[in-house]
Amino acid sequence: MAAAVRIVWKTVPSTASSRYAASGISLNGVGIPFPQFSFIHKPRVTSQKRLASHFTFQPDPPPSEFGSTQKMNLFQAVSSAMDNTLANDPTAVIFGEDVAFGGVFRCTVGLRDKYGKDRVFNTPLCEQGIVGFGIGIAATGATAIAEIQFADYIFPAFDQIVNEAAKYRYRSGNMFDCGRLTIRAPWGCVGHGSLYHSQSPEAYFAHTSGLKVVVPRGPVQAKGLLLSCIKDNNPCIFFEPKILYRAAVEQVPVDSYYIPLSQAEVLQEGSDVTLVAWGTQVHVLKEVANMAQEKLGVSCEIIDLKTILPWDSDTVCKSVVKTGRLLISHEAPVTGGFAAEISSTVQEECFLNLEAPIARVCGYDTPFPHIFEPFYIPDKWKCLEAVKKMLNY
C-alpha cells in the first residue's frame, strides 16, 4: 500500500551549538541549525471515488434504412462522417489544432495518412485564426470542417463566428456566403474537466441568426447530423458531448446518411410530463422517465431537441399541450441557458394547457467546479424531484 510522507520541521536552540557540532550537525551562520526532517510513514486513506458518469448510455436501435452498419463509438462515428465527406467531396478540408495527429479525442485519426497533408492539416493555436481561415475557404465554395479543440476555447473565435460567418450572407445581399463551414467542438462535462474543459456554451450562439447549432445524443445521431451540417448551406456549429466519445457505442451505418436538422425527436410517448434535453442529458432523462414510471406511476414523454438553433418549437409545444407539464434539463448555468428560451416560448404558446409551472433543472450560476462537479450536474435524482414537485403543484 502506498504511504503518505509527513515532514516534521524541527528547530534547534542556538545555545546548543557545541552539542550539535559534536554530533556532526552543522549550524548556519546565525547559530540556528539547519532543519531536521523526520519521515513518518502513515497508510494513505483512500477517498471515495467520485463517479462522473451520472447516467447510463442507452443506445438507439440499429437503423436499417441506411444500409450495412458497423459497431462504433461516438468519436469513430464522427471520424466516419468526415471520412465519407473527404472521399465524396474533393474540395473538403479538415483543419485545427493537432487534427493531423488524430486530435486529442482521436476523431481525425488516420485521415491525414489516407487523404494527404493538404486536406487534413494542423493550424496554429489560434481559434480566431482557425474560424477566420474556415470562413475564407468556405467563401470560395469549398467545404471547410474546422475543429476547436474544446468548446471552452471557442470564445476567442466568437467575433469571427458571430460577426463574420453568421452575417456573411446578409451583408452581401446573398451574393456571397460561407455556408460550407462546419465548426466542430468537444462539449459538456467529462468528469474531471473543471472550469476550462466542461462548459456547455450553446446558448451563447443561440442568440445569433444565420447559424445552426447542433448537439447529438449518440453515435448514430452524431454521424447523420454532422453530415447534414457539412452539407447545409449555412455555417453550423456541431457540439460533440465528450463524455460520450467512448461511453456511447451503437451500430452505425457505414455509408453516408443524413438526419434532418431543426427537427426534434420524440423518443418515448407519454401522457403526464414532457421531458426535453439534448446531448448527454437525454440519457439522464431516459432514466428519469423509467424511475417516474416505477416509483410514481407517471408517464413521461421524452424529446431530444438535437438542434438548438433553429429549434423545433412545434414538436415541444404539441407535446406540452398533451401532457400539461414540461421539464427541461441542461448542464449549462440556469440564467440565460437555452432552457429559458424554451420556457418562454412554451409559456406564450401553451399557457392555457399548463397544469404546473415549467421546471428547469440546470447547472448553477457559478464557474464549473471540480471537487463539487457531482453536485453541479443535473442528475436523475434532481430531475425526479422536479417531476414530483410538478405533480404535487
What is the band of 53 on the pLDDT scale with cuts at 50, 70, 90? low
**Residue 273 sits in the same domain as residue 180:** no
Which residues have a Cβ under 8 Å from the Cβ of 20 and sit 6 or more positions away?
A: 12, 26, 27, 33
Domain boundary among 253, 282, 309: 253
Mark 349-370 as b/e (b = at least 16 C-beta within 10 Å).
bbeeebebebbbbbbeeeebbe
- Among 327, 212, 221, which residue's Cα sits nearest to residue 277? 327
Residue 54: the pLDDT is 74
**Residue 145 sits in the same domain as residue 247:** yes
Domain assignment present for residue 64? The answer is no
**Residue 100 sits in the same domain as residue 161:** yes
How does strand 212-214 pair with strand 36-43? unpaired
Domain assignment present for residue 62? The answer is no
Query: Between 26 and 211, whose confidence is greater?
Result: 211
Residue 200: the pLDDT is 97
Domain assignment present for residue 77? The answer is yes
Q: Is the pLDDT of residue 7 over 50?
A: no
The region, left, alpha or beta by phi > 0 then psi within -120 to 50, assigned to residue 219 is alpha
**Residue 96 sits in the same domain as residue 224:** yes
- Active-site residue identified among 97, 127, 202, 287: 127
What cell numbers appear for 187 in the block?
462539449
Q: Is 197 a catalytic residue?
A: yes
CA angle, residues 140, 215, 301, in degrees to nearest 5: 145
**Residue 95 sits in the same domain as residue 217:** yes
Residue 289: the pLDDT is 98
Q: Cβ(198)–Cβ(234) under 8 Å?
A: no
CA distance 261 to 278: 13
Domain assignment present for residue 164? The answer is yes
Domain assignment present for residue 58? The answer is no
**Residue 336 sits in the same domain as residue 370:** yes
CATH number at residue 142: 3.40.50.970
Q: How far is CA 349 from CA 179, 317, 318, 344, in A?
A: 32, 7, 10, 9
List, for residues 247-258, the tens digit of each pLDDT value.
999 999 999 999
Domain assignment present for residue 259? The answer is no
- Active-site residue identified among 197, 202, 331, 341: 197
**Residue 208 sits in the same domain as residue 272:** no
Per-position DSSP letters for 300-339, written without gaps between them: EEEEE--EEET--HHHHHHHHHHHS-EEEEEEEESTT-HH
List, for residues 271-291, the tens digit of each pLDDT value.
999 999 999 999 999 999 999
Q: Cβ(262)–Cβ(310) under 8 Å?
A: yes
**Residue 227 sits in the same domain as residue 95:** yes
Domain boundary among 196, 224, 253: 253
**Residue 219 sits in the same domain as residue 304:** no
Average pLDDT over residues 253-269: 98
Query: Between 24 and 162, whose confidence is greater?
Result: 162
Q: Which domain holds residue 336?
A: 266-392
What cell numbers appear for 138 in the block?
468556405
List, for residues 347-390, the tens digit of each pLDDT value.
999 999 999 999 999 999 999 998 888 889 999 999 999 999 99
List, for residues 72-114, the tens digit of each pLDDT value.
999 999 999 999 999 999 999 999 999 999 999 999 999 999 9
**Residue 241 sits in the same domain as residue 273:** no
CA distance 350 to 203: 23
**Residue 240 sits in the same domain as residue 334:** no
Residue 294: the pLDDT is 97
Q: Cβ(189)–Cβ(198) under 8 Å?
A: yes
Domain boundary among 223, 253, 283: 253
HSE at residue 70, side-chain half, CA atoms within 13 A, is 10
Q: Cβ(277)–Cβ(383) under 8 Å?
A: no
* Residues of the chain above pLDDT 70, percent: 86
- Tell me how many domains the chain contains: 3
CATH number at residue 303: 3.40.50.920
Q: Cβ(188)–Cβ(279) under 8 Å?
A: yes
List, for residues 184-240, the tens digit of each pLDDT value.
999 999 888 889 999 999 999 999 999 999 999 999 999 999 999 999 999 999 999
Domain assignment present for residue 382? The answer is yes
**Residue 234 sits in the same domain as residue 282:** no
Domain assignment present for residue 261? The answer is no
Q: Is the pLDDT of residue 131 over 50?
A: yes
330 phi, psi to nearest 5 deg = -150, 165
CA distance 308 to 305: 7
CA distance 219 to 183: 18
HSE at residue 252, side-chain half, CA atoms within 13 A, is 28
What is the band of 71 on the pLDDT scale with cuts at 50, 70, 90? very high
- pTM for the full model? 0.86
